[in-house]
Structure 1
Amino acid sequence: MIAPRHLALAALASLLAAPALAQNIQNFRPAPGTWNGITVEGGQTAEHLQFVPSLMFSYGKSPLVERADDGTVVRPLVQHLSTLNVMATFGLFDRAEIGLDVPLHYVAVNKDAGLEGGAALGDLRVLPKVRLFGLDKRSPQVGLALAAPITLPTGNSDRWVGDDQITVDPKLVFELDLKVFRAALNGGVRVRPDRTDPKRLELGSEVTYGAAFGAHLGSEDFELIAEVFGAAPLEDIQGAELAPLEGLLGLRIHTAPGPVITLGAGTGIVASYGDPTARIFFGLAWNRHERDSDGDGILDEDDQCPHQPEDKDGFQDSDGCPDPDNDGDGLLDKDDSCPDEAEDRDGYEDADGCPEPDNDGDGILDSVDRCPMQPEDIDTFQDADGCPDPDNDEDGIPDVSDRCPLDPEDKDGFED
């Protein structure tokens, strides 16, 4: 029985003697960018002209072992597989992105098995993705995308890290984003036009799948990510167990002004090719974290109140802080008829929020009006003091009835 990580003793001789065709056992293929999962793609893409470089180091222990017919491990074939993925992604039109991944491997093999190990370049990956729907203002919680990773045969199949052919891995990507929690599902097909030599590692086209779940830990800067991903052959291959399945648990940390750290561990869930007994990974990306926590259109880094939305009323709107009482007169803007002019608090119509510089409307400002609540009678007699003078000449006859309001009556009994 011939099967990677489940290879029978009877087939070992032919396995070691066969040409090394399509021997890529590295199943940990990180998704570029910081909006995806670890290996599972999310529905979002990079912003227009956004450039995000990243590195991901991973180590897998015993990703390929020799097993007896009863499933017990006879010996490891590939003892250790370490990979550094050098990646970058570039956004186009706020809807698409194109990424590149250059994997650099170090393969440690069991020399007693006559295998070849050492440093090796892996298959270069070109990573296009298009957002088809959602994760925008109209549909912020649900998104659908199409990704189609392409591998080029630059890897060393003698060292188990090359397919020796071009492969295409189109997949549909679904994402649900509830802010504090998000989930992504991937499903597609990895097309290998030429199947591997059946004497060694028979890998034809496969169904690929993955699921990722992320939860923020009290802040958007800390996200716990759990993943499962795997593949299954499209054709039944006699005597082979070629359905790898792996689980990961990681933590992603966004730091200012742009470094993003991803780290975690995982393990193979079934006994198949590329499934390690243990995996660790550590990634570093640079992505300026343009976050607007309160959704007021002002980025947190420029927002003096990042968790309180600006009220956008034309008053100090650039600081990002709401101003419930623009004029500071103690009346909330919603109840203030003059929200940008402070009430003068002088006991006259103070509830409307509007200042009354001339309460009595006599044309003399309250600040110089000795009688701000009584209008001046404007009769050329002491009109500047703001106080009415009902009897200018103080003869006891009101001016309205006094034919000589500025000359006092002589009170002599004659026409008084």
Structure 2
Amino acid sequence: MRRRELLHRGLALALALTSTAAAAQSAFPSFELERLELNPGGEGSLLVGMGELLQEGDLRFSAVAHYAHNPLLLDLDGQSLRIVGSRATAHLAVGYAPLSWLQVGLQIPVLYQSTGTEVETEGYLRPTSFGLGTPTASVRAGLLTQDDKGGVDLALELAVGMPLGSATALARDPDQWRLSPKVMVGRRFGFLRAGVEVGFLQRPERALTPRVDPEDVIGNELRLGAALATTGRRLRWEVNVRGMLPLTSQPGAAEVLPGMRYLVNPSLEVFALVGVGVGSAPGTPLFRAMVGGAFGNVTPHRGPGESSVNCEPGLPHTMEECPDMDEDHDGVRNSVDRCPTEPGDIARSGCSAKDTDSDGVEDTLDGCPFEPGLVANQGCAVQDADKDETPDDSDSCPSEAGPADNRGCPVRDADKDGIDNDKDACPNEFGPPERDGCPERDTDKDTVPNRIDSCANEPGTVKNFGCPQQIQPLVELKRDRLLLTGKVYFDPGQIRLQARSHEVLDWVAKVIKEHPEMPLFLIAAHTDDRGFPDANRRLSQGRAESVRQYLVNKGVPPERLEAQGYGQSQPAESNATSIGRENNRRVEFLIVDPQGDKAGAPR
């Protein structure tokens, strides 16, 4: 017998003679003829992965009836032999996503009809008509997911073919596991999705004809796929292109498979695909057709830029999901319809001109459409539970009567100082408003309040800042600072204190220790503008630290003192004159308000 050429879709697949006696009939070599693969999740395309996964917890079960015409032809001495002229299979597939980034799948093909020509004189036997195909389990991991900001869907998959198919039905490779890794990527473009996948099929090399011709050797191959699919509709269309590039010398092949799919209800989808094949790779038919259905969570997920399939008539949806629909068919879209479930007028934003509570205010303008109210109050009644003429929505004490100028609350003043308890810092002690209702404190009983008494432990006079007449105080207490009648001196350009500064600093230490109600003082040091700003800031910081250390040595608790150097950044006067520069070289003692971390009046 002389083999002239293997026709398109043939390569004389599986028509090898065994090494037994020439007169005996030959069995086919074991190999997998079927090339049809389903996408278990079916989210983007039925056949090609687009990098997408099912939603977490979703389960999809698919059943497909498939017919392939002339998947295996042989030309012997000018005669075309249909070794496999027709082949009908059922494909069962299931996909499940246990995690948001993980999907598992299983496909089981079953051959239930096959026709072909048997050439007994040449020893070619027709394959059997019934048998199990190669079951394939897969694991798919999502690496990237497109979102509203852009990006792509990217996933990796590893499929494993189990050596359980029927060898006599051309439905199994030799007895070993078959590996098929894939990488798939896709992107959504509004009403379209596009994706590609690249896979590698690992299978053993073997010759399929008696004479070992390089074109008759099957083995490892690259499998490619591309798909374009519509989105956002109950009836969707897709076009799939699938091909193979053999890593042996056998010819390649490709198929184009357009199809349609229709969502019957959220749990059932039906679909059909037809296609033609080009090339002479094993299992590539002249044409193939398939119809099937999917069950489970089959409503396609709404992706970025896509409209929801649920917005098609007859499918359950929310008005927020479908803002462009018109639920009540009144000509006003859901997104702007104020009464989306009741027909109304366009002029009334989709509502009808009715007044449910008969208060003279249309429901569309009525803030309380089911309760009679006042027109001036947008159809709502004025609520005033305590009858104090202050509406409840602005009454801080809605269950207790009180004047409007007190936010509807009763006036409470336990110490009779004219300040409400809720505003009185000392609600049980009489005190002036400037002290937030707290009494003045006068430790030495000289009628000079502690807050302005420079000698808080010695009786004195107001004119002498609370000190005895024979003492000349060097520190005057102000609301926010200690005002020095002297000056703090340092060695020129240095941080070391001069001895003539000790007297005034001793007074500062005395006043601070006698006023424990003032918890924190800020020692602020400043310079003039001569020199570099950074150097001046460092110099002033050092001087502030020197003053702080002196006061600590005089018994002032260190936690009550904070040092800060400001350099030349906060001049008190102009640096254009020598007097101005002299006044800018200064040290200030600021009283820090513990409530707001800023200067404030002591108590």
Tell me the TM-score normalised to structure 2 length.
0.48
- Residue 3 and residue 128 in structure 1: after superposition, are their counterparts in 2 closer, same or farther (change >3 A)? farther
1:261 corresponds to which of 258, 264, 270:
270
1:303 corresponds to which of 304, 318, 333:
318
> Quick one: higher RCO (CA 8 Å, sep 6+), 1 or 2?
1
Offset from partner CA, 1:284-306 (integer Å, 9 cap, x none) = 111335578777x9996252575
1:102 corresponds to which of 103, 108, 122:
108
Question: Equivalent residue for 2:290?
Answer: 281
User: Which ranges in structure 2 are unaligned for 5 or more consecutive residues?
Assistant: 19-23, 211-215, 326-333, 341-350, 356-360, 392-603
- Residue 23 and residue 177 in structure 1: after superposition, are their counterparts in 2 closer, same or farther (change >3 A)? same
Code of the residue aligned with 2:83 in structure 1: it is L
Question: Equivalent residue for 2:48?
Answer: 40
In structure 1, the residue corresponding to 2:218 is in which secondary structure? Answer: coil
In structure 2, the residue corresponding to 1:118 is in which secondary structure? Answer: coil
Question: Equivalent residue for 1:210?
Answer: 225
Matched, 1:196 2:211: no
Code of the residue aligned with 2:96 in structure 1: it is F
Matched, 1:90 2:105: no
Higher strand residue share:
1
Question: Equivalent residue for 1:177?
Answer: 188
Code of the residue aligned with 2:143 in structure 1: it is L
- Residue 137 and residue 93 in structure 1: after superposition, are their counterparts in 2 closer, same or farther (change >3 A)? farther
- Cα pair 1:292 1:306 within 8 Å, conserved: no
Code of the residue aligned with 1:196 in structure 2: it is R
TM-aligned CA deviation for residue 90 of structure 1: 1.4
CA distance in 2, matches of 1:17, 1:98: 43
In structure 2, the residue corresponding to 1:157 is in which secondary structure? Answer: coil
- Residue 8 and residue 132 in structure 1: after superposition, are their counterparts in 2 closer, same or farther (change >3 A)? closer
Q: Which has the larger radius of gyration?
A: 2
In structure 1, the residue corresponding to 2:290 is in which secondary structure? Answer: strand
Matched, 1:25 2:38: no
Matched, 1:223 2:241: no
CA distance in 2, matches of 1:142, 1:340: 49
Query: Structure 2 matches for 1:107-256, cutoff 5 A?
Result: 107-112=114-119, 113-136=124-147, 139=150, 142-164=152-174, 165-192=176-203, 194-199=204-209, 202-216=217-231, 220-235=233-248, 237=249, 240-241=250-251, 243-256=252-265
Code of the residue aligned with 1:54 in structure 2: it is S
Residues 262-271 or 119-128, more deviating:
262-271
Q: Percent identity?
A: 18
- Residue 107 and residue 330 in structure 1: after superposition, are their counterparts in 2 closer, same or farther (change >3 A)? same
Offset from partner CA, 1:166-193 (integer Å, 9 cap, x none) = 211111111111241111101121112x
CA distance in 2, matches of 1:276, 1:20: 19
- Cα pair 1:101 1:125 within 8 Å, conserved: yes
- Cα pair 2:9 2:285 within 8 Å, conserved: no
- Cα pair 2:43 2:300 within 8 Å, conserved: no
CA distance in 2, matches of 1:45, 1:73: 48
- Cα pair 2:35 2:284 within 8 Å, conserved: yes
CA distance in 2, matches of 1:49, 1:25: 34
- Residue 256 and residue 13 in structure 1: after superposition, are their counterparts in 2 closer, same or farther (change >3 A)? closer
TM-aligned CA deviation for residue 59 of structure 1: 0.3
What is the RMSD of the two structures over their aligned residues, measured on CA atoms?
Answer: 4.1
1:80 corresponds to which of 83, 86, 91:
86
TM-aligned CA deviation for residue 111 of structure 1: 2.3
Offset from partner CA, 1:316-363 (integer Å, 9 cap, x none) = xxxx98764899967989xx9x799999674x4x7xx585749xx994
Residues paired across the two proteins, number: 335
Higher helix residue share:
2
- Residue 330 and residue 166 in structure 1: after superposition, are their counterparts in 2 closer, same or farther (change >3 A)? farther
CA distance in 2, matches of 1:330, 1:135: 46
- Cα pair 1:343 1:355 within 8 Å, conserved: yes
- Cα pair 1:122 1:154 within 8 Å, conserved: yes
Code of the residue aligned with 1:258 in structure 2: it is S
- Cα pair 1:170 1:190 within 8 Å, conserved: yes
CA distance in 1, matches of 2:299, 2:336: 21
In structure 1, the residue corresponding to 2:110 is in which secondary structure? Answer: strand
User: Which ranges in structure 1 are unaligned for 5 or more consecutive residues?
Assistant: 311-319, 366-416
